[in-house]
């Protein structure tokens, strides 16, 4: 059986941490947000570009632990190129997994590498790390839509 520590630090998470996907801030974008985790000070600046109802780009600059960094990387893999509605539903699925205290069976078809975070849900202190960029993305996407519609 895997130790708790190994279930937290899955190989996939460490890979994303060492080689984050879609990192850095890029143009164009409609909204940029800055979110912090007030307990530990982890921070992310995140930009969203929505075009024709599709998440065209998500770019970010993040300082934080392996969990928060890897989670930002996985987020971008999952939502870039998806229609906003579908991306929001992936967000919901990830949120449910993270808030499930380790009881939710992750759906690999939806979450892909995101299933590696199932172990994080058992560490209440780390759930916020995993959710930091996801919350920032939801916020920025909502603002992008306001920008383009309003």
Site for other proteins, rule CB under 8 A: 3-5, 8-9, 14, 39-43, 63-67, 69, 123, 126, 129
Distance CA 87, CA 128 (A): 20
Distance CA 63, CA 84 (A): 26
Q: Between 78 and 132, whose beta carbon lies closer to other proteins?
A: 132
Q: How many CA atoms lie within 13 A of 113 on its CB side?
A: 22
CB of 17 to other proteins, least distance (A): 9
Q: Between 9 and 134, whose beta carbon lies closer to other proteins?
A: 9
Q: Between 43 and 86, whose beta carbon lies closer to other proteins?
A: 43
CB of 120 to other proteins, least distance (A): 10
Q: How far apart are the first and last CA of the chain?
A: 53
CB of 65 to other proteins, least distance (A): 4
CB of 61 to other proteins, least distance (A): 12
Q: Between 40 and 104, whose beta carbon lies closer to other proteins?
A: 40
Q: Cβ(140)–Cβ(147) under 8 Å?
A: no
Residue positions counted in the chain: 150
Angle (nearest 5°) at CA 37 between 104 and 138: 60
């Amino acid at each position: 059986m895997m130790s708790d520590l190994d279930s937290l630090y899955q190989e996939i998470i460490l890979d994303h941490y060492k080689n984050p996907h879609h990192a850095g801030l890029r143009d164009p974008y409609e909204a940029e947000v800055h979110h912090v985790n007030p307990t530990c000070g982890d921070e992310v600046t995140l930009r969203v570009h929505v075009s024709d109802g599709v998440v065209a780009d998500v770019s970010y600059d993040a300082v934080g632990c392996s969990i928060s960094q890897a989670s930002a990387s996985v987020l971008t893999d999952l939502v870039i190129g998806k229609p906003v509605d579908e991306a929001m539903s992936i967000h919901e699925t990830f949120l449910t997994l993270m808030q499930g205290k380790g009881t939710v069976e992750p759906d690999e078809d939806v979450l892909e590498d995101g299933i590696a975070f199932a172990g994080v849900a058992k560490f209440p202190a780390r759930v916020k790390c995993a959710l930091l960029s996801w919350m920032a993305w939801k916020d920025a996407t909502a603002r992008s839509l306001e920008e383009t519609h309003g």
